[in-house]
A and B are shown apart, each in its own frame.
Chain A
Amino acid sequence: MSANTRGKTAAAIEAAGGKALVAYLPVGYPDLETSIEAAVAVADAGFQVLELGIPYSDPAMDGPVIQAATQQVLDRGFSLSEVFQTVEAVTARTDAAVLSMTYWNPVLRYGVDRLAHDFAAAGGAGLITPDLTPENADEWIAAAEKHDLDRIFLAAPSSSDARIDRAVEASRGFVYTVSTMGTTGVRGDMDTAARTLSERIAESSARVGKPIARCVGLGISRPEHVADVLDYAEGAIVGSALVAALRDGGVPAVAAKAAELVTGLHSDPGTLS
């Protein structure tokens, strides 16, 4: 076991001065090689954290753009070995912390400890687990400790203070701050609910005596969203907007979209709109 207990994701967010950009891209979309190039391009554009989505047949949290992409990967045949290959390739070529976002059944099927081992061996930072809440996560947390991986749980505007405390205590890396009460997708306006939730997580963090970053996801598609979010959180997570660019224009388009979003890192909130 490594002595590193802070984790790669927290280190990447700190290195970014507490203002990080996080990209969601589906593993293997539109094909393995292109997906790796897309992830590298996004990291090269200035994203510090990558979140590689593992395609799953029943993705209850994904919006239409991401679901269409992951369905395409499943239709052509997909196995978890592509995840390890991608993580290995991307960590070899960039400094980004590489997480995976995965529904829990594929992990259970593969074996929790076995997956943690293989993911860590590939150079991965940890997992985001949308349908695994802390009360069901004992086995995963034990495996993550053993293999020194980050585990990122969700907090939602509807979460009680007690549940937020639990997410803060169980998470390492950041708390995934769900900005709107909907599934992933591009939204015109950022939700003020995200700001409130972000504050509640900070209060919880003080209450339980555990500093932790907050990354806001679901709905971010423009540089001004990024600037707004980074005014009150340590990370802005972009998914559907990047996936749509990759779908429509391949690696050049996703690189351009990433570069555009990175401008939000260097501006004051409100000045870009």
Chain B
Amino acid sequence: MTEKLRDHHGPWFGDHGGVFMPEPLISAIEELTAAYDALRGDDEFWNEFHRLGREYTGRPSLLTEATRLSELAGGARIFLKREDLNHTGSHKINNVLGQALVAKRLGKTRLIAETGAGQHGVATATAAAYFGFDCTIYMGEVDTERQALNVARMRMLGAEVVSVKTGSRTLKDAINEGLRDWVAHTDTTHYLMGTVAGPHPFPEMVRDFHRQIGEEAREQIQTAAGRLPDAVLACVGGGSNAMGIFHAFLDDADVRLIGLEAAGDGAETEKHALSVGRGTPGLLHGMRTYLLQDENGQTIESHSISAGLDYPGVGPEHSWLNDIGRAEYEPVSDTEAMDAFSALTRKEGIMPAIESAHAIAGALRLGRALGPDAVLLVSLSGRGDKDAATAAKWFGLLDEGEQHVG
């Protein structure tokens, strides 16, 4: 009997995954792995997790049909899974609450995390306030500038925000800095990885905390559309919202799973974040996966208007789903994403995060190819408030004097 794709466990996803970490961190990773192995079948833990989802996050999140957006997508029916309506404004809170519960079980008193767009940092700072953890968030200097609103939110919540000035000064360097902090403080501190990347058990554990996105949506869309969708689409940075919504559909062979990677200036340029699309296998942040690297094995800086997708690697389960042909990964440029950002805002009154706008762009493209009979499920992973300044600048909506605000 073949294993169901849904039942696949780490540390390995085909050739990808594993644990490639310095020895000083191995004991903390082993401790976390053992704790998660024990909690996986612990009903009390999952009941508490789902109670928090209902009572704190606002789950289940809605499924909204985007009927006017459909006009721009060849008439295809588009259903939005509304993770933007979650407390703190994105899917990130699902994983954060799960890991905060794990950290509590481990007796840790402090949470540290990396953040790109700031959504994961805000969610972590929120959980720290809620559970009473100390909290330090590492964020690349470039990202603290383009996501200033979220920096303020994290500080309001009581977190220390460290602006990382090394390397490319974006998400990957924030992870390096977070790992350095963790090495020195493993006894008190849990490293709260914000996506399905890093060494085992993070890719699997983070996926499990986001699995509910797809489980809910699979029920909801059968009620709303009377059938499974033709395709499920999600943006892919590290890949957590995508794994979350894909997972329930992995064994539905007729449902296409499409990850949209950020193509930055364009897939034909050298300024992109197409880790699966243009990357090669290698090591980054403790995992083997597709990544952007040069011929010397140095990680190449990624480029995207979206801080949350500006990452030169990808979670190992995505690399595997790509290799076995179960999921497809397509590029969406900055321009396409911003057009989709505008389209969703104007047609539906929903302003998406720029990350999520990449998924919308993918749906518009696919809808035009498939036509009015198609049913598309799209992960709307977050809301766009944090991106108002970037969007206003992109669309030239600010007067000269206001250009420097935010």
Contact = CB atoms under 8 A, between A and B. Distances in A.
Contacts of A79: 296
A158 B298 contact: no
Contact of A108 (B185, B186, B283): B283
19 contacts: A58-B167, A58-B172, A58-B176, A58-B284, A58-B299, A60-B21, A63-B180, A67-B166, A74-B298, A103-B283, A105-B293, A109-B295, A110-B296, A133-B20, A158-B27, A163-B27, A178-B23, A181-B24, A181-B184
Of A58, A154, A157, A160, most buried by chain B (CB within 10 Å of CB) is A58
Contact of A159 (B21, B23, B184, B285): B23
A184 to B, nearest CB: 10
A249 interface: no
Interface in A151-186: 153-160, 163, 167, 178, 181-183
B179 interface: yes
Nearest to B280: A109
A58 B287 CA distance: 13
10 closest Cβ pairs, A-B complex: A109-B297, A106-B297, A154-B23, A156-B24, A158-B27, A182-B184, A57-B299, A105-B283, A57-B298, A105-B297
A110 B297 contact: yes
Interface string B154-192: 000000000000110000110010011001111000000
A273 interface: no
Interface string A52-79: 0000111111010001000100100011
Contacts of A142: none
Nearest to B173: A58
B172 A132 contact: no
Given A61-B183, A105-B283, A158-B26, 12 more contacts: A58-B285, A79-B296, A108-B282, A109-B297, A131-B21, A131-B283, A133-B23, A136-B20, A181-B24, A181-B183, A182-B183, A183-B183
Nearest to B172: A58
Contacts of A110: 296-297
Contacts of B293: 105, 109
A157 B26 CA distance: 11
Nearest to A81: B296
Given A58-B299, A106-B297, A133 B284 contact: no
B24 A105 contact: no
A237 to B, nearest CB: 15
Contacts of B101: none
Given A57-B299, A71-B166, A71-B167, A131 B20 contact: yes
Given A108-B297, A109-B295, A181-B24, A136 B183 contact: no
Interface string B8-35: 0000000000111111101110100000
Contacts of A130: 22-23
Given A108-B282, A181-B183, A182-B183, A80 B296 contact: yes
A60 B184 contact: no
B21 A133 contact: yes
Q: Is chain A's interface secondary structure helix, strand, loop, or mixed overall?
A: loop
Interface residues of A, number: 41
A59 to B, nearest CB: 7
A156 B24 CA distance: 5
Interface string B130-166: 0000000000000000000000000000000000001
Contacts of A160: 27, 30
A133 B18 contact: no
A159 B26 contact: yes
B186 A158 contact: yes
B296 A109 contact: yes
A107 interface: yes
Given A59-B176, A183-B180, A158 B297 contact: no
Nearest to A133: B23
A153 B22 CA distance: 10
Contact of B23 (A58, A107, A108, A153): A153
A130 B284 CA distance: 13
Given A57-B167, A58-B167, A58-B284, A107 B22 contact: no
Contact of A155 (B18, B23, B30): B23
Contacts of A56: 297-298
